[in-house]
Amino acid sequence: MPQGHQDFLREMVQEDLAAGRISGVVTRFPPEPNGYLHIGHAKAVCLNFGIARQFGGQCNLRMDDTNPTKEDVEYVDSITADVKWLIAGWADHCLGMKPVGRLPEKRDLGGREDYYLAPVMSAPDDDGAPGSRESPGGSDAQGQGEALEPFYASDYFEPLYEYALELVRKGKAYVCDHTPAEVDEMRGAPHRPGQESVYRDRTVAESLDLFERMRAGEFPDAARTLRARIDMSAPNVWLRDPVLYRIRHASHHHTGDQWCIYPMYDFAHGLSDYIEGITHSLCTLEFEVHRPLYEWILEALDLPRAHPRQREFARLNMTYTVMSKRKLLRLVQEGHVGGWDDPRMPTISGMRRRGYPAEAIRDFCDRIRVAKSDNMVQVQLLEHCVREDLNPRAPRAMAVLRPLRVVIENYPEGHVEEMEAVNNPEDATMGTRRVPFSRVIYIEQDDFREVPPPKYFRLSPGKEVRLRYAYVIKCTDVVKDPATGDVIEVRATYDPATRSGMNPEGRKVKATVHWVSADHAVEAEVRLYGPLFTVEEPEDVPEGQDFVQSLDQTSLETLTGCKLEPSLAEVVPGAPVQFERLGYFCADSEGSRPGAPVFNRTVTLKDAWARIEKKQGQG
């Protein structure tokens, strides 16, 4: 359960509210649609929606799509779906979207021109009162059931262009004709001032004319830029006349061929925030040095409404995985994984397919907290959150992944008993089910050792073990493969007096083992997932090496011929189930067929024996 911890950002929001600087809270989640969302984005989603939720505000989903060459609708669709999934049942009432096709409204505010685009809150699903809700300062509420879409920075290209013109008129921006190489050269170095553009002082009229012709498509890519006139000797390099607009004759996934000039992030972001009435613009630490520019742009214009405030927090890093979109893209493109939604990927879609509940991911984001120091969170915490969420609600079932045949010699041939099994010991309301038991069963290969190591409580020759919900059996003999010497079958006897529920006094058996009746078993494929990398920090690449070299080739293990109890034949893809003593699993959303399920292992159960065994191996 998310606790809603206090942090320095919430503190700031509270202060702004208390001081009357703002009357409501509007945040935004502004991914660039050039990749799938990952667990690092989930942190930002939880932060921004969490703050909106806590203060009765809203959080706009916005595509930060100012670079046509890297973006694609595939990504806007996946991002939208992932955000909705992640906040479902928690903050959907805070999700700010807008009617499809709606653009900012130009209006007059106290004699000053203003652009504004109000969010429409998506309809709550549960109370039968759908429709939009007008937001503070918003325009007309729209009709019910109207199709909504995310905000797009590219929807603001026209107002942004107007703002740029205004900057030029104020003498705060100019068209520069230097080549990219010249601009680089003249920017100086962190410890050395830059050199002013020779076009810096051309007239307002000339810049205006040139900028209009840039828009009209008169010049080739990179021929000119619009630059802010700030200070070429500023110690902060982002204040050295940064580029505001560049020429790119490229079609855009959302605006098509309407534009051939595109605004840069720094120019577009703060103004997009402003247009949407964002109060708090929360981003990651690397943008901290951009903050003076963010503020300069807003202050350079004569904007009639309150300015958004940018603040920064540390991005999430996690052990045994990579988080950069560039690296994730490579894993996909080079086929190291099956796709963006490969269950081993740290993407939202990958984790969803693997069976991680949204609630668990939110709990994780809550527990890692938000602060400003660089961090490396252990993946074990995420796994803990998944287990904790699943334990009370995942029904239990028995599944044997690596089957070992057991023949119970004194059990009547052809006889079948329906044993009663509890669906979830954590929750009696989940009821019980019947599991068939017969003379030949399968147990896990791991649950039998011909030569048991110390502290091994499971089955071995002459030893007893309890079959969950059934009888105590004793191993009497083994059958070996004459060629390999491997044990291929266990012979055993059962004690009729030990039937589940009627355990005789004084009968102590050290271990209980799961099983599946051979005649009743459902065959299935099961996919086991481990960490994608063999090292804790795969992004920390040694000299001259590539991060893909530390990929773990055994991260996916596909098991076929697994034996499942009959109740598992028909399952809803994605629905969690605990295979007793093994872990949490869910039927794969793509591979499963009725009667022939494919299961993904979401996460293992904690395994005390594995730890003992590991220690024995070391000692």
Binding mask 407-436 for RNA (x = CB under 7 A): -----------------xxx----------
Least separation in angstroms between residue 237's CB and RNA is 4
Q: Which of residues 346-375 bind RNA (CB under 7 A)?
A: 367-375
Binding mask 47-66 for RNA (x = CB under 7 A): -----------------x-x
Backbone phi, psi, residue 7, to 5°: -155, 175
Are 37 and 79 in contact, with CB atoms under 8 Å apart? yes
For position 41 contacting RNA by CB under 7 A, the verdict is no
Residue with Cβ nearer RNA (104 or 263): 263
Coil, helix or strand for 150? Answer: coil
For position 488 contacting RNA by CB under 7 A, the verdict is no
Of 28, 396, 433, 439, the residue at the interface with RNA (CB under 7 A) is 396
Enclosing H/E stretch for 84: helix 73-87
Residue 205 token pair:
């009229």
**348 CA to centre of own chain:** 3
Residue with Cβ nearer RNA (478 or 605): 605
Q: How many beta carbons lie within 10 A of that of residue 104, not counting itself?
A: 21
For position 384 contacting RNA by CB under 7 A, the verdict is yes
Are 17 and 49 in contact, with CB atoms under 8 Å apart? no
Q: How many beta carbons lie within 10 A of that of residue 492, not counting itself?
A: 26
Least separation in angstroms between residue 578's CB and RNA is 6
Of 88, 198, 216, 376, the residue at the interface with RNA (CB under 7 A) is 376
Residue with Cβ nearer RNA (266 or 273): 266
Binding mask 563-582 for RNA (x = CB under 7 A): ---------------x-xx-
Nearest-10 crossing angle of helices 291-300, 265-275: 60
Of 391, 445, 493, 589, the residue at the interface with RNA (CB under 7 A) is 391
For position 387 contacting RNA by CB under 7 A, the verdict is yes
Least separation in angstroms between residue 230's CB and RNA is 13
Of 146, 149, 231, 288, the residue at the interface with RNA (CB under 7 A) is 288
Query: How many residues are listed for the chain in this entry?
Result: 619
Sheet architecture: strand order including 225-228: 173-176, 225-228, 243-247, 261-263
Handedness of CA 277, 279, 285, 290 (dihedral sign): positive
Least separation in angstroms between residue 283's CB and RNA is 9
Nearest-10 crossing angle of helices 39-54, 73-87: 50
Q: How far apart are CA 244 and CA 246, in angstroms?
A: 7
For position 557 contacting RNA by CB under 7 A, the verdict is no
Within 13 A of 256's CA, how many CA atoms are on the CB side? 1
Enclosing H/E stretch for 359: helix 358-368
Of 2, 17, 70, 567, the residue at the interface with RNA (CB under 7 A) is 70
Q: How far apart are CA 38 and CA 532, in angstroms?
A: 15
Are 59 and 82 in contact, with CB atoms under 8 Å apart? no
Residue with Cβ nearer RNA (254 or 458): 458
Q: How far apart are CA 354 and CA 97, in angstroms?
A: 28
Q: How many residues bind RNA (CB under 7 A)?
A: 95
Catalytic sites, residue numbers: 32, 315, 325
**544 CA to centre of own chain:** 30
Q: Which of residues 71-130 bind RNA (CB under 7 A)?
A: none
Residue with Cβ nearer RNA (28 or 98): 28
Least separation in angstroms between residue 196's CB and RNA is 15
Residue 166 token pair:
């205004």
Handedness of CA 301, 305, 306, 309 (dihedral sign): negative
Binding mask 593-612 for RNA (x = CB under 7 A): ------------xxxxx-xx
Q: Which of residues 218-247 bind RNA (CB under 7 A)?
A: 221-225, 235-238, 242-243, 246-247
For position 323 contacting RNA by CB under 7 A, the verdict is no
H helices of 26-72, in order, are 39-54
Q: How many beta carbons lie within 10 A of that of residue 407, not counting itself?
A: 17
Of 74, 286, 334, 486, the residue at the interface with RNA (CB under 7 A) is 286
For position 309 contacting RNA by CB under 7 A, the verdict is no
Residue with Cβ nearer RNA (221 or 557): 221
Q: Which of residues 171-200 bind RNA (CB under 7 A)?
A: 178-180, 183-184, 187, 189-191
Residue 361 token pair:
């991911």
Residue with Cβ nearer RNA (427 or 489): 427
Least separation in angstroms between residue 141's CB and RNA is 30
For position 252 contacting RNA by CB under 7 A, the verdict is no
Sheet architecture: strand order including 403-408: 512-513, 464-467, 472-480, 487-495, 403-408, 440-444, 515-517
Residue with Cβ nearer RNA (287 or 340): 287
Residue with Cβ nearer RNA (122 or 321): 321
Residue with Cβ nearer RNA (266 or 342): 266
For position 12 contacting RNA by CB under 7 A, the verdict is no
Single-letter residue type at 314? A
Least separation in angstroms between residue 426's CB and RNA is 6
Of 156, 262, 448, 585, the residue at the interface with RNA (CB under 7 A) is 262
For position 464 contacting RNA by CB under 7 A, the verdict is no
Least separation in angstroms between residue 124's CB and RNA is 31
Enclosing H/E stretch for 383: helix 379-390
CA-closest candidate to residue 210, choices 167, 249, 176: 176
Of 8, 145, 203, 572, the residue at the interface with RNA (CB under 7 A) is 8
CA-closest candidate to residue 330, choices 18, 549, 116, 123: 549
Residue 150 token pair:
């995310």
Enclosing H/E stretch for 403: strand 403-408
Of 81, 141, 377, 440, the residue at the interface with RNA (CB under 7 A) is 377
Q: Which of residues 496-555 bind RNA (CB under 7 A)?
A: 498-501, 503, 511-513
Residue with Cβ nearer RNA (129 or 189): 189
- Helix and strand numbers (H, E) in the chain are 13, 30
Least separation in angstroms between residue 516's CB and RNA is 14
For position 466 contacting RNA by CB under 7 A, the verdict is yes
Least separation in angstroms between residue 461's CB and RNA is 15
Least separation in angstroms between residue 267's CB and RNA is 8
